[in-house]
Structure 1
Amino acid sequence: MERFSKQYIKNTGVLLLNIRPSLVDRDTLVIDLNSPVRSLGTTVYGGGLGYIGSVIFKRVDKCFSNPSPQAYAGEIARSLGRESSAVFLTASDVSQYIYSEAEDSGVSVEGIATIGLTHPACIGGEPESRAIGTINIFILTSEGLSDIGLADLLRTVSEAKAGYLSILGLSCRGLPAVGTVSDATLVASPGGSTDYAGLGTLVGQLASRVLRNIFRSHMSSRGLDDYMRYMGYEDRDNIHPRHALLKRLELLVEEIMGIDIIPWLDRGAAKEILRIIWRISHG
């Protein structure tokens, strides 16, 4: 059993050790917790509101089509002797999980995630059949949150994820993406009386910092071709690295005008900006 993956060591600063990840095999990551915690999430098994003692990331085939994924995930948990767990099913390589932590004023937040940016979920797009989880995020805080606080933290993690992906430029056919069609998120806390965990709170800001580090780590292992693909550009030949930001700006203008959420914006000005970007990139 491999205790820590290379990516775990690479992305660890001050290890808080409230979560203990172990690779059981190349397709199974088990995270044992120091003690049971109150949790809220969208995992296929162990989701909703409850208590968990561990978290499992299970890699499955991209064409996974089990008619009862909940039963399948439950069997995985039982086979590992961890029925009181939450199970993520993902097509991503679980051995490349990313760990990040943040701490301030006695409050800590730790996160583990597997990231795959295929099948983007885009605002204004068409419904798409659910694929196997691509962005799977587990967040644990030392803050004593009530059930309302857990719901607030889940909201915060979802908002921060959407914000970072929007800045990144994840897109489908020029429409902004805020995740993928199969994301799963789980948040947990020892339990307590704190009802607030939004971005106006310390725990919310720490959670957003953890997510930022996770996405930054993912992008550090990806190249220009991946980035252009994330933005939805099919023609990626002869793209110079210095053009990546120009392409991102081009896409941003197209997204703003395509969503049409600011009706009084000057479309003529937007076209002129796009012409300027084109001249710079071809100059």
Structure 2
Amino acid sequence: MYNFEGKKAFVTGGTKGMGRAIAMRLAELGAVVAVTAREIPADFPLKGVSADISEREGALKITEYVKSEFGSVDILVNNAGGSKSPMGGFAAQTDDEWQRMFEFNLFGAVRLDRALLPDMIKKGSGVIIHISSIQSHKPIYESTLAYAAAKAALNNYSKALSLEVGRHGLRVNVISPGFIETESAGTYINQIAQDKNITESEARQQIVDFIGGIPLGRTGSPEDVAELAVFLASDSAKWITGVEYRIDGGTIQTL
């Protein structure tokens, strides 16, 4: 069993879905955990700061909170991201939509890393986990073209970052989930169902079929991702860095 006693962790997008599952699991295993989201529910059981990670001001607010609350962190999970792009393929993706997707899915992580990495480097240890998506390899062009491109950029950036900071004792890894049944996934399923006048079950199956199926026969859960995240954050993975881990039930069928 992993032990995170004495470790300080910060999770972006930590009040819902995969972010919440990761934050709660780290806390269960002894870490002191804080999160950020646009809104922190009044009954949320962990510390948190309300901020929009996709905006420069939001990243600054988060940085100030982390430095005030923790001084520095041992584990940083950049989980915040997602897509609410309109259906319609490339023609529906305006400049503003492309910019919004990159701000949310790439630049937010870049800014927070840049702000918090120096203190990790001074300590000579730390773990950064970036939550990406299998769409970085297999985009759904009909509605998430810009999102998929931003996640592909996140993967590339993560690899380069791992090479730069490894000599300082820091590890950087990527988790690329497949079809995980989160709240945002539910919203996407509902959007497809409404746009195509079909049931949510049919919309869910359309997504599964479009991405090439799920050999293990089920969609993933946030808890599946959380278990991988705590492994990568733990000393059990102390010689693992610069790696992308796909967790998709076998959807991506290439090496």
Which interval holds the TM-score relative to the shorter structure?
0.3 to 0.5
Q: TM-score with structure 2 length normalisation?
A: 0.36
Higher fraction of strand: 1
Higher fraction of helix: 2
Q: TM-score with structure 1 length normalisation?
A: 0.33
Name which one, 1 or 2, has greater alpha-carbon Rg: 1
Q: Which has the higher contact order (CA 8 A, sep 6+)?
A: 2
